Amino acid sequence: MKIESSEHIGKIIRDGTAFDVKNWGKKGLKPDAILGSIQTLFALLEERKINYVLVGGVALLNYVEGRNTQDLDLLMPLSSLEKTPELKVSAREPFFARASFGELQIDILLDKNPLFKKVASDHVQKQKFLEHEIRVATVEGLLLLKLYALPSLYRQGNFARVGLYENDVATLLYAYPQKTDALVNELSKHVSENDLAEIKRILAEIEQRIQRFKQGTEQGGR
């Protein structure tokens, strides 16, 4: 599923919101308004010359199919966030923020985190959409962000999100085979030894799963 426009992004998020049964019956929820919010947001970011990178589930859809999401994920400097008061921040941590823009919910990764800054500088490609040219994280950038987050999600006991992130990593590695040593080497500069060991374990299990799937596909084709 190649993302073609900011309207396309809006439809992905709108549908993810509208078809989530947890949202059914919520007062004031207007999924269709998300389309307008997306268009206005990207126009605003372009007008203000805001430095940002599209990451998360929407960015993943630039490379693989089947990902659903209700939020927009952006990586940006704190200075860019401060230049955009229209983004109404509801929660803030040293490296993360949660904001809204109209009906749109936005998760923001702040590049005060050294790994996030590395992704923003070295693992980005420009994607030409119908209305805008948007900076999107590369496959390597998305893998780094997903793997970095997984040990923390395990500690939080967030089983659903762990499954989602591990599936994202597996889907990307299956569609774009690559040596994972470079990913592990980069992550070793940003995580503890325990977290790095956990990441290596996760990668080993995912690579085994991919291998089993390939073998099953080959046997089924005989």
115 and 55 in a single domain? The answer is yes
**Assigned domain for 206 exists:** yes
Among the residues of the chain, which ranges form H helices?
Answer: 6-18, 33-47, 56-60, 78-82, 114-122, 139-156, 159-175, 181-187, 193-220
**Once rounded to an integer, what is the mean pLDDT over residues 101-106?**
84
User: Among 96, 114, 137, which residue terminates a domain?
Assistant: 137
Strand order across the 88-92 sheet: 88-92, 96-101, 104-110, 72-76, 53-55, 133-137, 124-128
Q: Let me know whether 113 and 13 are in one domain.
A: yes
Residue 22 has what DSSP assignment?
G
**Does position 60 have pLDDT exceeding 90, yes or no?**
no
User: Looking at per-residue confidence, does 191 or 4 come out higher?
Assistant: 191
Tell which of 72, 106, 137 closes a domain. 137
Whole-number pLDDT of residue 17: 45
pLDDT in tens, 181-211: 999 999 999 999 999 999 999 999 999 999 9
Task: Please tell me whether residues 94 and 171 are part of one structural domain.
Answer: no
Kindly state whether residues 100 and 167 are assigned to the same domain.
no
Contact 74, 145 (CB under 8 A): no
pLDDT band at 127 (very low <50, low <70, confident <90, very high): confident
Contact 16, 36 (CB under 8 A): no
Percent of the chain with pLDDT strictly greater than 90: 55
Q: Which of 149, 122, 162, 150 is nearest to 138 (CA)?
A: 122
Given 120, 137, 154, the domain boundary residue is 137
Residue 5: predicted pLDDT: 45
106 class by beta-carbon count within 10 Å (0-12 exposed, 13-18 middle, 19+ buried): buried
Label residue 134 by pLDDT band (50, 70, 90).
confident
Question: How many domains does the chain divide into?
Answer: 2
Residues 176 and 102 in one domain: no
Is 85 in a helix, a strand, or coil?
coil
**pLDDT band at residue 70 using 50, 70 and 90 as cut-offs:** low
Mean pLDDT (whole number) for 44-61: 88
Q: Are residues 133 and 145 both part of a single domain? A: no
DSSP designation for 23: G
Mean pLDDT for the chain overall: 83
| pLDDT at residue 22, as a whole number | 41
Mean per-residue pLDDT, 16-42? 54
Predicted pLDDT at 126? 87
Kindly report the number of other CB atoms within 10 A of residue 163's CB atom. 11
Nearest of 85, 101, 100 to residue 39 by alpha carbon? 101
- In tens, the pLDDT along 78-95 reads 999 999 999 999 999 999
Q: Are residues 16 and 64 in the same domain?
A: yes
Predicted TM-score (pTM) of this structure:
0.83
- Same domain for 207 and 113, yes or no, is no
pLDDT of residue 92: 95
pLDDT at 218 over 80: no
Highest mean pLDDT among 2-6, 164-168, 216-220: 164-168
Which CATH number belongs to the domain containing residue 27 in this structure?
3.30.460
Helix/strand/coil for 158 = coil
Query: What is the residue range of 44's domain?
Result: 6-137
Q: Which residue has better confidence, 46 or 155? A: 155
What's residue 181's pLDDT?
96
